[in-house]
Amino acid sequence: MAAPQRFDVAVIGAGITGLSAAWELVAAGATSVTLLEAADRVGGKLVIGEVAGVPVDAGAESMLAVRPEALRLASEVGLKPSIVHPATRGASVLSGGHLRPIPIGLVTGVPTDLRALAASRIMSLRGLLRIPVDQMMGRPALTEDVSVGDFLSRRVGREVVDRLAEPLLAGVYAGNPDQLSLRMANPSLFRQLARDDSLLNAANAVKSGSAIAAGARRGPVFAGIRGGVGRLAAKTEAALAAKGVLVRTGAQVTGLRRLSAGWQVQTRSGPLDYDAIVLAVPAGEAARLLRTSAPFAAARLLSIDYASVAVVTLAYPAARLPALTGSGFLVPPVEGYQVKGVTYVTNKWEWEAKAAKTATPKGMAIVRASYGRCGDIAVLDRDDAELATLARRELAAIAGLPPITIDERVTRWNKALPQYHVGHVELVGRARDSLVDAPGVALAGAAYDGVGIASCVASGRQAARKVLRDLEESVMEDHG
């Protein structure tokens, strides 16, 4: 019996997407894998920092538990015993200067329980009365992509966008709802709108389906990792190294060149030849690397915009600390503040509360504030001290937190979140189709398949399977 064909594959970019792609390639068993990362560490936006002696996630701090990909990877690399779930689920939204509980049943900001929405007092009477008009407007007949903001405004009124959809989506995408693709933001709702008589009916159908799926899982929506979600990157790197994967940090890739069979990766330390490549880097970087070998794909990737954000993590002394209810709150721009959302870290994660108690016997609360929206960069022009001061001032005004902190940390993520403008699915499809002339190359990452750890893990694994199929097909052609 012939030995299996071995392939040399490079994964460029060692964020969680690239790490997942490498893990999938290793699972194939007949592939030599090299991870090339320009930074001095792997993990990308999965990184653990420290505030007042307590470890905190400085980037992503939770994973979707209703999707299997992230939890599956965590389990495979040995983190299953460390998977935890939020200690509290309730969150609030600022409305009329007051923090009000977010009502149940929202689907991309679309209310499915009008009684719960009315009871929350988030919206005005006029705004509430506008919502049922949707069911008298006739079938949406949605056949092409639209923006979340424009579509919801037409169907259920602008106040739903400003008070519900925008704050819910801003924390995920840091984008403008009037530019955000509905098809990307909620593919299930987009598909359902082609079948239902109204937006409200479609949202109810999606909610029912999600509830059934969540019930089948018998578990919460989100999950974390004891010690920080950043551990997932470090643990995956260690697991890859144990399986013989070469992980090269500080490896800046300067270009790609098509060979008669395979690809040459040009680095500052010299060229490296591979049979196939997974590009797990931001869209602009992928475009730069593909500009000569796949110019049509590169041109399309260059049109994908990104938003920058900053995370301000604050440690407050327990003395004079008001009662912090729930996991945190969201802030819509119509309220006049710069902060987008706030997480009560020590409320949300029990392991963080224990770590804070150990670090400071007198008591401490750790709070995380998020800043930055696409097109609104003025707030991020402040230096770290100014941004922390702004956070303390706004949190004092909104939630009554004291003006003095024990410690603080500002983490900036430049061009961190891809913007899914209307038509994004078609744009990505055309970019990938343009790679038909570049066999053995696959695109992976948040720019293409969705934000969040689970989406990125899925994207990386899908790209790995794609290049393996390309390689297998090339072998079959050679043996024609």
Q: What does the alpha-carbon distance between residue 248 and residue 99 come to, in Å, rounded to a whole number? A: 47
As a whole number of angstroms, the distance between CA 225 and CA 232 comes to: 8
Task: Say yes or no: domain 105-217 is CATH 1.10.3110.10.
Answer: yes
pLDDT of 358 strictly over 80 = yes
Return residue ranges of the chain for CATH 3.50.50.60: 7-45+230-304+420-478
Confidence (pLDDT) at 238: 97
Amino acid 212: pLDDT: 46
* pTM for the predicted model, two decimal places: 0.94
Tens digits of residue pLDDT in 452-471: 999 999 999 999 999 999 99
- pLDDT tens digits for range 155-212: 999 999 999 999 999 989 999 999 999 999 999 999 999 889 999 999 999 998 764 4
Q: How large is the average pLDDT for residues 323-333?
A: 95
Q: What pLDDT score was predicted for residue 31?
A: 84
The candidate with the shortest Cα–Cα distance to 276, out of 115, 159, 444, is 444
Percent of the chain residues past pLDDT 70, beyond the cut: 96
Asked if 190 and 142 count as a contact pair (C-beta separation under 8 A), the reply is yes
In angstroms, the CA 28 to CA 454 distance is 21
Under DSSP, is residue 480 helix (H, G, I), strand (E, B) or coil? coil
Q: How sure is the predictor about 221, in pLDDT bands with cuts at 50, 70 and 90? A: confident
User: For the residues 42-49, what does the mean pLDDT come to?
Assistant: 96
Which residues, other chains included, contact 130 with Cβ-Cβ below 8 Å and sequence gap of 6+?
156, 157, 159, 160
Where are the domain boundaries for CATH 3.90.660.20 in the chain? 48-89+306-418
Which tokens sit at 336?
């006049």
Q: What percent of the chain shows pLDDT beyond 90?
A: 84
255-282 pLDDT per residue, tens: 999 998 899 999 998 999 999 999 999 9
Report which of residues 359 and 286 the model is more confident about.
286
Q: Where in the chain is the domain with CATH 1.10.3110.10?
A: 105-217
Q: Give me the pLDDT at residue 216, please.
A: 44
pLDDT beyond 70 at 442: yes
36: number of CA atoms within 13 Å, CB side?
23
Per-residue pLDDT tens for 242-251?
Answer: 999 999 999 9
Inter-residue contact 366 to 54 (CB < 8 Å): yes
Fold of 7-45+230-304+420-478: FAD/NAD(P)-binding domain (3.50.50)
Cα distances from 60 to residues 115, 147, 248, 335, 461, in angstroms, run 33, 26, 23, 26, 20
CA-to-CA separations, 97 to 161, 333, 334, in angstroms, rounded: 18, 12, 10
The pLDDT of residue 478: 59
Q: What is the pLDDT of residues 116-153, one digit of tens each?
A: 999 999 999 999 999 999 999 988 878 899 999 999 99
Q: Which residue has the higher pLDDT, 281 or 28?
A: 281
Residue 394: which region, alpha, beta or left (left: phi > 0; alpha: psi -120 to 50)? alpha
Q: What is the mean pLDDT of the chain?
A: 93
The C-alpha atoms of residue 156 and residue 164 are separated, in whole angstroms, by 11
Thinking of the domain 48-89+306-418, which architecture would CATH place it in? Answer: Alpha-Beta Complex (3.90)
Average pLDDT for residues 327-334, to the nearest whole number? 96
DSSP 8-state class, residue 323: P
Q: Is the per-residue pLDDT at 4 higher than 70?
A: no
Instruction: Give mean pLDDT, residues 346-371.
Output: 93
In this prediction, residue 210 carries a pLDDT of 61
